[in-house]
Structure 1
Amino acid sequence: MRQDTEQQARSTRPASPARALLPLILPAVAVGVAASLVYIGLSATAEQLQHVLWGPLPEALGVGRYSVLWMFVVLVATGLAVGLVVWKVPGHAGPDPATTGLDAPVLPPVVLPGLLLATGLMLAGGPSLGPENPIIAVNVGLAVWLGGRLLPRAPGALWPLLAEAATIGALFGTPVAAALVISEALAGRPAPGLLWDKLFAPLTAAAVGAMTTTLLFRPAFDLGLPALGHPRWTDLLAALVIAPVAALLGMCAVRAFPYVHAAFQRLRHPMLMLPAGGLVLGALAAVGGHLTLFKGLAETAELAHDPTGWSAGQFAVMAVVKLAALLVAASCGFRGGRIFPAVFVGTALGLCAHALVPAVPTALGVATSVLGMLLAITRQGWVSLFTAAVLVASPAIIALLCIASLPAWLLVTGRPQMQLREDGSSVR
C-alpha cells in the first residue's frame, strides 16, 4: 500500500519544476517581441506599396485603380517581380510553397531576405494568399540562427517552437490560437510531462507576440456581425448543412491542387510560371471583382459590413472565384499562406446562405461556412474552430460550431491535403 501511494505521488508531481521553466521566460519574451516586429514590418511595408500600386499610380496614369486593365497589369507585373526574386536572389525565396504548411522547415539565413521580399511583393500586388506560412518560416529561421548563437546551451527544438507560437499569436492578435496549434502538434509527438509545462514557454512567446501586435498594429478579426441569440433547432439544422457544404467546396480545390500545380510546373522556370499565374489571376479578378484580390482580411470585413449589399449569386461568384484564385496563387509559386483567403471564401459562402435563406442568421452562416472551409484547406481542427468563433464573437455559437465540425471533419479526414510532397503527390 505504501509503495502504491509513493508511485501515485510521483505520477502527480509536476514534470518540469519552476526552476526549469523560469529560464525559458526571457528567450520566450525576446522571440515574441521579435516575431511580432518582423510581421508588423512586413505587413506595414506591403500595405504602403499596395496603397501606391492601387491608388496614386493608376490615378496618375489615368487608369481606374480597379479597372480590368490595371488588375491584369499589376498581377502580371507582380508575377514578374516575384519570379525574378525566386530566380536570382540567393536562396530562391525558399522551397516550393506548395510543399510547405504552418509547420515551417528551418531555413538557412541566406534564404530569409528573398522569402521576405517575395512575400511583401505578393501581399502588395494582389494574389490571393496571406502572410502566415512565409512569416512563420522567416521567424523560425531567425530564431534558430540567433538563438543558437546567443544561447548555445538551450535545446535546439526550443527555438522553432517559440517562433511558431509567437508568430501565430502575432498573426491572430491572441495567444489562444497558438496554444491550440501547439497542443495539436504536441499530441502528434507525445512525451512525458504535463501539457501545461510543455506549453509554458510557447504560450509566453505567443502572448508577448500577440500583445506587441495589438499595441502597435491593432489587428481585428471580429466582423461586427449581429450576435447570435438563443440557438434554435433551425440553427442547428443550418449549421449541420452549411459546414459540410463549405468543406465539400474546399475539397474541390484540394483535389485540383496537384493537377494545377503540375500544369504550372511544366513551364519549368519561375519567370514563366509566376507571370502565367498572374495572368490567370487577372482573369479571375475580372470576373470576381477587386474584392477577390489580396489576402482577404480587409475585404472580408467589407463584405460583412454590408451583408445585403450583394445578391446570393454575387456572393457565390466571389466565393468560387476567390477559391480558384487561392488555388492558382498557391500552385504557381507565389509565397504565401492559405488561411486568410480561405476565411474570405467562407464568409462569402456564409453570406450567400443567408441571402438564399434569410432565416439563417448571418453570424451562423459565416461562422459555420468558415469552419468547413478551413477544415478542408488547413486540416487544422483547433485553428478552424477558433477562427470561426472569433470572427463572430458570439459565445452562443461555440456549441453549434463544435457540432457542425463533426460531419465536416468526417468529409475531410484521411483525404488529400492542400500540401504536396516533393514528387508532386498530395500529403494525406
Structure 2
Amino acid sequence: MSDAGESITGPRRATRARRLMVMAVPAIAVGIGSALMLWVLDLVSGGLQNVLWEFLPGAFGFGPDNPFWVFGVLTLTGAAVGAAVRYLPGHGGPDSAVGELDAEPPKLIALPSLAIAVVLGLAGGVSLGPENPIIGINSALAVALLARFAAGVPPKLAAVFAMAATIGALFGTPVAAALVLTGAVGAIKGEGALWDKLFLPLAAAASGAITTKLLGAHAMTFTLPPVGELDVVDALVGTGIAIGAALIVIVGAMLLPIVHRAFHALGNPLLFTTLGGALLGVLAVIGGPMTMFKGLNETGALLADPGAYSVGQLALFAGVKLLALVIAAAAGFRGGRVFPIVFIGVALGLLAAALFPGTPLALAVACAVLGATLVATHDGWIALFLGVVLVGDIHVLPMLCVIVLPVWLVVTASPELIARPADETPAT
C-alpha cells in the first residue's frame, strides 16, 4: 500500500512543483509591475505635494503652515477630487470608505479617474493612505493583462497576485503579505498544503518588495530603545494601552457610517467632497501639519524624537487625526485607512508612555498600534506585524501575542472602520 501511495503521490507532487514554477513567472511580473505603479503614483503625488506645500507658498512669501493656505489648499483639493469623481469616466472607481483591501477590482474605465483622485488627495494633505486605490488599480491591470497574455492564470488568482505584490511594495517586505493572505489563500479550494497556495502570492510580494527597494523607497521601519525584560505588570499595562487605543478607534468606527451617510445625502460629489476638504482644512489648522497627509512621514517624525511632544500635543494629534480620517473617508476621497491608523496608534502609544513613565516606550507604542490596527482591519496578523515592525524590536512579539487575545475579545464585537453602503445595512 505504501509503495502504491508513493507512486501516486510522487508524480502529483512533481506536477504541482512544475506548475508552481511556471505560474511564478506571471506572479513575479505582476509583483514588479505593481511596485512600479506604486512608485509612479508616489512620484507624481510627491511632486505635486512639493509644488503645493513648498514652491507656491515660497513664491507667495509665506510658510506652508499659513492657516489660510492650509484651509484653501484642502478645500480646493476637495473640489478637485469631487470634480474628478463627478465628471470623469468611471467616477473615481468604488468609494474607498465602503471597500476593503481585497475588494473587487474596479473597471478599467475607472482607473484614470481613480489615479487622479488618489494623487490629488495624497498631494493635498488628505488623511488617507494609498493602499486601497493602488491595490484596486494594480488588481484591475493584472486581471486584464494576464487574461490577454497568460490566460492560464484565473482572474481571482491574478487579483491575489496584485494585492500581495502591492502590500509587499507598500511595506517593503513580503512578510506583511504572507500574514494578510494566510486566511484568504487557506480558504481557496484545491489540492496542496497552505504553503503551496502561498507560494505564488509570496513570489509576487517578494518581487514587489525587492523592486520597491531597488527604486529607493523607504520601508516602514523605525527603531526605539529595546524593551528589555518584560514582566506581568508590563503585560497588564500593555493590555490596558492596547484596549484603550482600540476603544478610541472604535469611536471613529461608529462615527464613520453616520458621517458617510450625512455627506452622501448631499447627492453631488462636488458638493460633499468640497465640504469635506473644507472641514479637513479646519482640522489641519487646529492640529497642525503633523495631522495632515497619509501619516507615514509624520509617524517617523514622532518616533524620531518621542520626548519632543507634550501630553496635550500627543492627545491633540491623535484626536484630530482620527476625526480627519473619518471625514476624509466619509466625504468621498479615495484612499486607505491603514497608514493614518498607524499614526494614531503611535501618538496614543507615546501618550500612554508619557502618562505611565515606567512603561517601556517600545511596548507602549507597539500595544497602541496593535489595538488601533486591530479595530481598523479586524486582522490580528497585520496588527501584530505593524506592532513589531514599527518599534524595530522582535522581543515585543511574545508579549503582543498574549496581549492580542483580550484585545480581540473587545474588538471582535465592534464595528470595523468601514462605512456600510445603504443597501447593505443589516435588517432590524
Structure 1 residue 14, shift from structure 2 partner: 4.5
Report the more deviating stretch, 223-232 or 391-400: 223-232
Residue number in structure 2 paired with 1:68: 67
For residues 151-190 of structure 1, the aligned pairs below 5 Å read 151-189=150-188
- Determine if contact 2:375/2:414 at 8 Å carries over to the other structure: no
- Residues 42-97 of structure 1: CA distance to partner in whole angstroms, max 9, x if unpaired? 01111111111111201211232112111101100100111111111110010122
Report the more deviating stretch, 8-17 or 149-158: 8-17
For residues 245-264 of structure 1, the aligned pairs below 5 Å read 245-264=244-263
Residue number in structure 1 paired with 2:303: 304
Structure 1 residue 313, shift from structure 2 partner: 1.6
Question: Measured at CA, do residues 316 and 424 of structure 1 come closer, stay the same or move farther in structure 2, by a change above 3 Å?
Answer: farther
Report the more deviating stretch, 204-213 or 191-200: 191-200
CA distance in 1, matches of 2:304, 2:176: 25
Question: Measured at CA, do residues 16 and 350 of structure 1 come closer, stay the same or move farther in structure 2, by a change above 3 Å?
Answer: farther
**What's the secondary structure of 1:388's corresponding residue?**
helix
User: Is 2:115 the partner of 1:116?
Assistant: yes
Amino acid at match of 2:152: R
Residue number in structure 1 paired with 2:326: 327
CA distance in 2, matches of 1:350, 1:344: 10
CA distance in 1, matches of 2:420, 2:190: 27
Residue number in structure 2 paired with 1:384: 383
Structure 1 residue 395, shift from structure 2 partner: 1.4
- Determine if contact 1:342/1:373 at 8 Å carries over to the other structure: yes
**What's the secondary structure of 2:422's corresponding residue?**
coil
Amino acid at match of 1:343: V
Residue number in structure 2 paired with 1:395: 394
Structure 1 residue 362, shift from structure 2 partner: 1.4
- Determine if contact 2:223/2:393 at 8 Å carries over to the other structure: no
Length-normalised TM-score, structure 2: 0.95
Amino acid at match of 1:152: A
- Residues 256-290 of structure 1: CA distance to partner in whole angstroms, max 9, x if unpaired? 11100011011111110111001111111122111
- Determine if contact 1:418/1:426 at 8 Å carries over to the other structure: no
Question: Measured at CA, do residues 190 and 349 of structure 1 come closer, stay the same or move farther in structure 2, by a change above 3 Å?
Answer: farther
CA distance in 2, matches of 1:275, 1:290: 20
Structure 1 residue 334, shift from structure 2 partner: 0.3
Q: How many correspondences in the alignment?
A: 427
CA distance in 2, matches of 1:217, 1:406: 37
CA distance in 2, matches of 1:202, 1:282: 40
Structure 1 residue 41, shift from structure 2 partner: 0.5
**What's the secondary structure of 1:130's corresponding residue?**
coil
Residue number in structure 2 paired with 1:94: 93
- Residues 99-129 of structure 1: CA distance to partner in whole angstroms, max 9, x if unpaired? 1110131222111111111101100000100
Amino acid at match of 1:348: A
CA distance in 2, matches of 1:427, 1:93: 27
CA distance in 1, matches of 2:355, 2:52: 36
Question: Measured at CA, do residues 86 and 304 of structure 1 come closer, stay the same or move farther in structure 2, by a change above 3 Å?
Answer: same
Structure 1 residue 224, shift from structure 2 partner: 2.0
Q: What RMSD over aligned residues (CA atoms) do the two structures have, in Å?
A: 2.1
Report the more deviating stretch, 70-79 or 227-236: 227-236
- Determine if contact 2:221/2:390 at 8 Å carries over to the other structure: yes
CA distance in 2, matches of 1:336, 1:252: 20
- Determine if contact 1:104/1:140 at 8 Å carries over to the other structure: no
- Residues 113-147 of structure 1: CA distance to partner in whole angstroms, max 9, x if unpaired? 11111101100000100000000000000001111
Moved over 6 A (4+): none
For residues 210-221 of structure 1, the aligned pairs below 5 Å read 210-221=209-220
**What's the secondary structure of 2:279's corresponding residue?**
helix
Question: Measured at CA, do residues 94 and 299 of structure 1 come closer, stay the same or move farther in structure 2, by a change above 3 Å?
Answer: same
Residue number in structure 1 paired with 2:77: 78
User: Is 2:342 the partner of 1:315?
Assistant: no
Structure 1 residue 355, shift from structure 2 partner: 1.1
Structure 1 residue 314, shift from structure 2 partner: 1.2
Question: Measured at CA, do residues 190 and 408 of structure 1 come closer, stay the same or move farther in structure 2, by a change above 3 Å?
Answer: farther
Report the more deviating stretch, 231-240 or 128-137: 231-240
Question: Measured at CA, do residues 13 and 147 of structure 1 come closer, stay the same or move farther in structure 2, by a change above 3 Å?
Answer: closer
Amino acid at match of 1:366: V
Question: Measured at CA, do residues 200 and 3 of structure 1 come closer, stay the same or move farther in structure 2, by a change above 3 Å?
Answer: closer
Amino acid at match of 1:77: L
User: Is 2:233 the partner of 1:231?
Assistant: no
- Determine if contact 2:23/2:153 at 8 Å carries over to the other structure: no
- Determine if contact 2:94/2:106 at 8 Å carries over to the other structure: no
Amino acid at match of 1:118: A
Same amino acid, percent of matched pairs: 47
Question: Measured at CA, do residues 50 and 205 of structure 1 come closer, stay the same or move farther in structure 2, by a change above 3 Å?
Answer: same
**What's the secondary structure of 1:55's corresponding residue?**
helix
Report the more deviating stretch, 173-182 or 416-425: 416-425
**What's the secondary structure of 2:230's corresponding residue?**
coil
Question: Measured at CA, do residues 12 and 341 of structure 1 come closer, stay the same or move farther in structure 2, by a change above 3 Å?
Answer: farther
For residues 362-377 of structure 1, the aligned pairs below 5 Å read 362-377=361-376
- Determine if contact 2:73/2:124 at 8 Å carries over to the other structure: yes
User: Is 2:410 the partner of 1:405?
Assistant: no
Structure 1: tracts of 5 or more residues without a match: none
CA distance in 2, matches of 1:40, 1:240: 37
CA distance in 1, matches of 2:242, 2:112: 39
CA distance in 1, matches of 2:349, 2:184: 29
Question: Measured at CA, do residues 425 and 362 of structure 1 come closer, stay the same or move farther in structure 2, by a change above 3 Å?
Answer: farther
Residue number in structure 2 paired with 1:417: 416
CA distance in 1, matches of 2:69, 2:101: 33
Residue number in structure 1 paired with 2:339: 340
- Determine if contact 1:342/1:377 at 8 Å carries over to the other structure: yes
- Determine if contact 1:258/1:426 at 8 Å carries over to the other structure: no
